[in-house]
Structure 1
Amino acid sequence: MAVEFGNSRLSALRIKGRQLARVVVISSALLAGQAAALAPEHETRRLMLAIEESVAAESWGEASEYLNRLQLLDAEKPADYHYYRGRVMLQSSHFNEAQAALETYVTSAGVEGSHYQSALKLITGIERARKEKALVTQVGDEARVAVIEPAGDKRTASLRKLYLADSDREALVLHLNSLLGVAGWRQDQAVVRLDRPADIEYRLSSSGNAISIQEIRRNSSGGVTRKTGQIPVFGVNPQVEWGCEQAVATCWVYDPRDGSRLFQLSSNRSQAEEIAQTLGRLIRELQAP
């Protein structure tokens, strides 16, 4: 019995010794891999080559993975990064993100960029796809507009009390203008002074079943240009989309009719989201019978 116990103990020690050896080998391999890690500029180029190969092979999931890894890398992104990001976003039908990325590429690479012509054609294709999508959406929504419930939720009621408004419509318009006044876009975002007007800002009003939007742009010399447009709400989807583009430090609220850019705002995501949601509630309120 003592001999068997000794043999068992010896076997256990041998097994532990093998396990420890494996741990040492694996740890050594990991440390060697860390020591051999590429510098950020070389890793950027390696990932760009992988992205180019994946897009050429139409391996969109793989290309998306490499793009995400490159986005997290603490290194300057080449102009082609935005082109390939636009291609991948377009493949997933994320039109807003695709257009923003392609426009960033065109701006940064210029006419000398190797993908300049292709990027312009893709942007045109996105516009056409938006128009087709908008037509389909409007046809599908026409039968449902009459049964959309008015925006009489508790939040809108609290806005009426806040602004001492006589109606939900008035409260939503006042709240939208308040939000837009704070979220205006500025060329210099390093120092934001609310006592100075933004370079781009908007004012809204409503009349009947339409929303009037005034865009105010200020240039560096102090000149001001104003442009006014209307959004008739009949047949419009009240789910208003929004998004932010870090490369240009800008958030966008998109036109619910065709997905084009409606508001150019500061890079504050929470403000952009609340503006889009409030605009959707206003559209729903105006559509109510």
Structure 2
Amino acid sequence: MAVAFGYSRLPALRIKGRQLARVVVVASALLAGQAAALAPEHEARRLMLAIEESVAAENWGEASEYLNRLQLLDAEKPDDYNYYRGRVMLQSSHLNEAQAALEAYVTKAGTEGSHYQSALKLITGIERERKEKALVTQVGNDTKIAVIEPASDQRTASLRKLYLADSDNEALVLHLNSLLGVAGWRQDQAVVRLDRPADVEYRLSSGDNVISIQEIRRGSPGSVTRKTLQIPVFGVNPQVEWGCEPAVATCWIYDPRDGSRLIQLSLNRSQVEEIAQTLGKLIRNLQAPSDS
């Protein structure tokens, strides 16, 4: 019985041996393929050609996949990369990302870029689409829209106690200015000293129906430029959008009226998100003053 059992295992061992040999052959082939991979500069060009073909065929999912692979590649990106990224982002209705990519293409490629005029037209189209969305929001202002509350009543009450404010709106303004004070944009992101003012910073105040935003920009020779913008709150969507662009170490708060860039901040997503949520709560309160 024992002898018969021992002999019955021999075919199984031979099969396993052949399977192991095949695994080794496949692994060797894969390693050889990796060793023969294109150098980064050639792989970047190959992916760029694949992106161009995918966009021409309107295969947007495939184009997005190739773009992501090219973005992760440790090689200099061709000028056209930002143009096609803008096209793909626009197709997905990511207007902010699309505009940022197209503007980057125009800046880098200049008037000699093969897609220069097309990029400018696309940027104009994005601007028009934002305005149309803003008009739809304003026209439908009488209709109540279900929105996610950006800051709960309990949160606002806590802020009111924290800042010893007389009203919810005063507490929200004080909190916004506190957040903006540490989120200012700096040209040099390597060393951030809070005892030195940011290159771009903001101060906010509110009236009965208006939010005033003062922008302070500091130049290299010590010059300071101040600009104030007023936003009437009626007809404005209280869901304030925001976004970040790691390539330029910048986050943006977008104007709730038309989606254009409003506030330029440092690259800190959690801070920018809280600023956008708090600003949305302030807009909502000012639209319904009886609740404040």
For the structure 1 residues 15 and 178, does the alpha-carbon distance in structure 2 shift closer, same or farther, using more than 3 Å as the test? same
TM-aligned CA deviation for residue 76 of structure 1: 2.2
Q: Establish whether residue 113 from structure 1 lines up as the match of residue 113 from structure 2.
A: yes
In structure 1, what residue type is equivalent to 2:285? E
Distance between the aligned counterparts of 2:147 and 2:234, measured in 1?
12
Task: Answer whether contact 1:152 1:168 (CA < 8 A) is retained.
Answer: no
Give the equivalent residue in structure 1 for 2:33.
33
Give the equivalent residue in structure 2 for 1:186.
186
Give the equivalent residue in structure 2 for 1:256.
256
TM-aligned CA deviation for residue 86 of structure 1: 0.5
Give the equivalent residue in structure 1 for 2:173.
173
TM-aligned CA deviation for residue 68 of structure 1: 0.8
For the structure 1 residues 146 and 209, does the alpha-carbon distance in structure 2 shift closer, same or farther, using more than 3 Å as the test? farther
Q: After TM superposition, what 4+ stretches of structure 1 lie above 3 angstroms from structure 2?
A: 1-8, 145-152
Moved more, 142-151 or 84-93: 142-151
Task: Answer whether contact 1:159 1:171 (CA < 8 A) is retained.
Answer: yes
Deviation digits for residues 58-100 of structure 1 (CA, Å, limit 9, x no counterpart): 1100000011111112222222111111010000110000001
Task: Answer whether contact 2:216 2:227 (CA < 8 A) is retained.
Answer: yes
Q: Establish whether residue 64 from structure 1 lines up as the match of residue 64 from structure 2.
A: yes
Distance between the aligned counterparts of 1:121 and 1:192, measured in 2?
38
Moved more, 133-142 or 61-70: 133-142
TM-aligned CA deviation for residue 146 of structure 1: 12
Point out which structure has higher relative CO (alpha carbons under 8 A, 6+ apart).
Answer: 1
Q: TM-score, normalised by structure 1?
A: 0.93
For the structure 1 residues 18 and 150, does the alpha-carbon distance in structure 2 shift closer, same or farther, using more than 3 Å as the test? closer
Q: Establish whether residue 42 from structure 1 lines up as the match of residue 42 from structure 2.
A: yes
Task: Answer whether contact 2:150 2:239 (CA < 8 A) is retained.
Answer: no
What percentage of aligned pairs have identical amino acids?
87
Moved more, 52-61 or 16-25: 16-25
TM-aligned CA deviation for residue 191 of structure 1: 2.1
TM-aligned CA deviation for residue 178 of structure 1: 1.1
Q: Give the unaligned 5+ runs of structure 1.
A: none
Task: Answer whether contact 1:150 1:284 (CA < 8 A) is retained.
Answer: no
**Count, aligned residues:** 289
Task: Answer whether contact 2:199 2:219 (CA < 8 A) is retained.
Answer: yes
Distance between the aligned counterparts of 1:75 and 1:182, measured in 2?
34
Q: TM-score, normalised by structure 2?
A: 0.92
Give the equivalent residue in structure 2 for 1:210.
210
Deviation digits for residues 187-246 of structure 1 (CA, Å, limit 9, x no counterpart): 222222222222211111110021111111222122222221211111211111111112
For the structure 1 residues 2 and 195, does the alpha-carbon distance in structure 2 shift closer, same or farther, using more than 3 Å as the test? closer
TM-aligned CA deviation for residue 283 of structure 1: 0.9
For the structure 1 residues 150 and 287, does the alpha-carbon distance in structure 2 shift closer, same or farther, using more than 3 Å as the test? farther
Give the equivalent residue in structure 2 for 1:99.
99
Give the equivalent residue in structure 1 for 2:83.
83
In structure 2, what residue type is equivalent to 1:207? G
What is the DSSP-based 3-state SS (H/G/I as helix, E as strand, rest coil) of the residue aligned with 1:114?
A: coil
For the structure 1 residues 265 and 147, does the alpha-carbon distance in structure 2 shift closer, same or farther, using more than 3 Å as the test? closer
Task: Answer whether contact 1:110 1:116 (CA < 8 A) is retained.
Answer: yes
Moved more, 119-128 or 189-198: 189-198
Task: Answer whether contact 1:183 1:271 (CA < 8 A) is retained.
Answer: yes
Deviation digits for residues 84-141 of structure 1 (CA, Å, limit 9, x no counterpart): 1101000011000000111111111111111111111110000001111111122234
